[in-house]
Structure 1
Amino acid sequence: MRILQVVSRYYPELQYGGPPQKIHALSRGLAGRGYDVRVVTLHSVRRSARVVQHEGIQVSYLPWVGKGTWQVPLGIDTLGAAVRLSDLVHCYSLYNLLCPAAAAFAHRAGRPFVLEPLGMYVPRLRRLGAKRLYHLAFTRWMGRQAARVVATSPGEAEELAELAEPGRLVLRRNGIDLEPFENLPPADPFRAAQGISAGERVILYVGRISPIKNLEQLVQAFHDLSLERTRLVLVGPAMEPDYAQALTELIAALGLDGRVLLPGPLYGEEKLSALAAADLFVLPSLSESYGNAAAEAAAAGVPVLLTDTCGIAPQIDGRAGLAVPVGVSTLAAGMQALMEDDEARDSVTRRRGEVLQELSWDEPLTQTEQMYEALLSKP
């Protein structure tokens, strides 16, 4: 079976958050099960075009012009040819022009088309008018054309119910590769790089420095708690300079310079060393379709505090950490409980081993495989 994955950004461009890593993991897993998997995506450099192999996956990077939602892919004939050579097309994310083009090519060629919005269906922040226009122009049509629409959490499934009826709506969680978390590297390299002494505690966030992540409330909650000998470390790329600047100014205004650190993105061994150093992981997002960073922290054995707007929250809450409503006071109370109250910490993390078994890619891969097989077995 020949599967074409279409996404606006792909591995190894991890600065774009979880989707590039997730889709590469799915692609690699499907290839390992005997599928011929290919990817068409956009390059982060506008007019750069190339075809490469990533762990047995052929990836075609298309050049583009424009900006934001309206990045116009060039070399569209490459996408059309890839669709015609495939048996099935799976498109990820919204608010780009690559997926509508792929959907149109799939419709014309008679190929089943799967749409996975990655939690983007409900516009929440920034360019709301442009996103509503995108829905009118493309999303509704793609929703009608899609043989299946995939949600990664029950909350997202509720949102997507207006786009696809139950027979076409599939709930399939994300997964993570558990192997890197089985033997974490020492915490010392991370502590040394950030100037954190052995006696200091670490509250860690890993993800994009972006408004949807709600980091300003986390910083305010950290300030209000006044935890002794504790650093808050916000790891991730500053994809939106204005927000990063506002966050830096807030940190200074609250007198937290030196106590709240912004080291930029960390990947591979450096990220694992950060997790090894962490006493608590916090994901304070306004919305997450799933929350892979929280899953990775749980796999690393770090207690997790996250907002109940994260898709993974039901898996984590009371088992590997604590889920709380969005808000400064709730984040502060959660940090207080998990950092200062050993009994509370133990009570909400004692089932971490059970959660670990639910985080691997095995089940999502099998479900994806079954979905593909069902679509292609139809007359």
Structure 2
Amino acid sequence: MNILFVTQYDLANPDYGGPVFKVRYLSNYLANLGHNVSVVTVDDGKDDVKHLQDLRDSLHDRVSTIRLKTLWRYRAITLNPSVFSVVQRQVPTADIIHIFGFYDLLSPFVVRSARIHNVPYIIEPIGMFAPIVRSLLKKKIYHRLLGRRLVSEAECIIATSTQEKEELVSNGLKSQHIVIRRNGIDLSEFSNLPEHGQMRSRLGIHPDERLLLYLSRLSSKKNPEMLMQVFAKLDLPKTKLVLAGPSESGYLEKLKLIRKELELENDIIFAGPLFGDEKISALVDADIFVLPSTNENFGNVIAESVAAGTPVVITNKCGIAPYIKDRVGLTVSPKQQELQQAIVTLLSDTSLYKKFELACSDVAKEFSWDQPAASMEQLYKKILASQLL
């Protein structure tokens, strides 16, 4: 098969997190099976020599990337005039198109060409379909002008969890039009874990101190503010809270002001974005990983924490929660009191903590990319077979 992937996230920029690594892994898996994969993505103008080299090194020879120059940007939405010529070349030779994301200006042009050339396409919204958090009016306008038709003419919509499927249905999509395919992680990255203490040493955290870790994008929907408030109320001796990850525009400054107001400048540490070995070192060094999101379509970093052997406290608004609950961590509603109690429980109940810690290696095996990636190949084949009837 000739498979065309389309994503608004620059594959060379790991700051975009899960979507970037998802597209990379699926591309490589399908290429290993003998398929040709082309990825149309954007050049966000933040070229980093190391990141570009990492991208080249990470992709199979049968995977090609086309990074479109960006003329204008508003948050994650970009204007890329070269999309016209690229679409004219790529779409007619594709057997199937897989679009990752939703609110962008690439998909409408790709889909228009797909209609002309009778190329089937599927959409994976990556948790973006429902207008939430910010720019609600703009998102509703996008739905009305472009989104509804994009979705209605797709062969199917990919949801990464039952939770995301329920959100899609509640926003007007038909249940039978949605296929659930969970996310995965690259377990090979966790086969040889780093020695304990490397990230603690870098951040100046003593081996005797406890470390609570939040490692994700610093975004209001992921609730780091509430976690900081909870940490202040806990008033735990010899305990540090580390917040790691890229920040939404201006949000880090807001969090730093909150830290100052809480008088916890020595106990709450902003570690910045962590990738690769640094990310794994942080997960290994943490006593508890905490993600108090109000909405998370899956939550890959939670699976990565489990693979690193670190128990978690997360909310039931994370799509991955059914895999986690009472097996390798605690799940709570996104409320301060419940989050506070869960952290206290896991820190004080040593037998429960040990139970979760010992279960991590077995549960982590359930997050391999192999099964979901194989299911994508089967879905593509099923769609193409139906086109011949």
Give 1:284's aligned amino acid.
P
Q: Deviations over 1:286-335 (max 9, x none)?
A: 11110000000011110011111000011011111111100111111111
Moved more, 291-300 or 95-104: 95-104
Which residue number corresponds to residue 89 of structure 2? 81
Which residue number corresponds to residue 360 of structure 2? 352
Is this contact kept in 1: 2:259–2:268, CA < 8 A? yes
In the TM superposition, 1:285-324 aligns within 5 A as 285-324=293-332
In the TM superposition, 1:22-61 aligns within 5 A as 22-45=22-45, 53=56, 54-56=59-61, 57-61=63-67
Is this contact kept in 2: 1:187–1:274, CA < 8 A? no
Which residue number corresponds to residue 244 of structure 1? 252
Q: Deviations over 1:198-239 (max 9, x none)?
A: 111111111111111110001111111111111111111123
Unaligned runs of 5+ in 1: none
1:97 to 81, 84, 105: 105
Moved more, 203-212 or 296-305: 203-212
For residues 41 and 77 of structure 2, what CA distance do their matches in structure 1 show?
A: 15
In the TM superposition, 1:62-211 aligns within 5 A as 62-68=68-74, 70-76=77-83, 77-161=85-169, 162-211=171-220
TM superposition shift of 1:350: 5.3
2:342 to 334, 338, 341: 334
Give 1:171's aligned amino acid.
I
For residues 27 and 10 of structure 2, what CA distance do their matches in structure 1 show?
A: 11
Which residue number corresponds to residue 9 of structure 1? 9
TM superposition shift of 1:10: 3.6
Which residue number corresponds to residue 373 of structure 1? 381
Which residue number corresponds to residue 19 of structure 2? 19
Is this contact kept in 2: 1:46–1:65, CA < 8 A? no
Moved more, 349-358 or 295-304: 349-358
Give 1:17's aligned amino acid.
G
3-state SS of paired residue (1:41)? strand
For residues 72 and 221 of structure 2, what CA distance do their matches in structure 1 show?
A: 24
Identity among equivalent positions (%) equals 36
Which residue number corresponds to residue 232 of structure 1? 241
Moved more, 186-195 or 217-226: 186-195
TM-score (norm 1): 0.95
3-state SS of paired residue (2:132)? coil
Is this contact kept in 2: 1:276–1:300, CA < 8 A? yes
2:278 to 270, 282, 285: 270
For residues 221 and 67 of structure 2, what CA distance do their matches in structure 1 show?
A: 27
For residues 101 and 273 of structure 1, what CA distance do their matches in structure 2 show?
A: 42
For residues 306 and 164 of structure 1, what CA distance do their matches in structure 2 show?
A: 28
For residues 172 and 2 of structure 2, what CA distance do their matches in structure 1 show?
A: 27
2:230 to 213, 217, 221: 221
Give 1:19's aligned amino acid.
P
3-state SS of paired residue (2:115)? helix
For residues 173 and 218 of structure 1, what CA distance do their matches in structure 2 show?
A: 27
For residues 8 and 20 of structure 1, what CA distance do their matches in structure 2 show?
A: 10
Q: Deviations over 1:329-362 (max 9, x none)?
A: 1111111111122133245555434422210011
3-state SS of paired residue (2:252)? helix
In structure 2, the CA distance between the partners of 1:258 and 1:159, relative to structure 1 (3 Å rule), is same
3-state SS of paired residue (1:167)? helix
For residues 209 and 171 of structure 1, what CA distance do their matches in structure 2 show?
A: 27
In structure 2, the CA distance between the partners of 1:46 and 1:349, relative to structure 1 (3 Å rule), is closer
TM superposition shift of 1:63: 1.3
**How many residues of Structure 1 are paired with residues of Structure 2 in the alignment?**
376
TM-score (norm 2): 0.92
RMSD: 1.9
3-state SS of paired residue (2:236)? coil
For residues 191 and 353 of structure 1, what CA distance do their matches in structure 2 show?
A: 23
For residues 198 and 13 of structure 1, what CA distance do their matches in structure 2 show?
A: 33
For residues 172 and 114 of structure 2, what CA distance do their matches in structure 1 show?
A: 19
Give 1:371's aligned amino acid.
L
3-state SS of paired residue (2:90)? helix
Is this contact kept in 1: 2:10–2:44, CA < 8 A? no
Moved over 6 A (4+): none
3-state SS of paired residue (2:99)? strand
3-state SS of paired residue (1:357)? helix
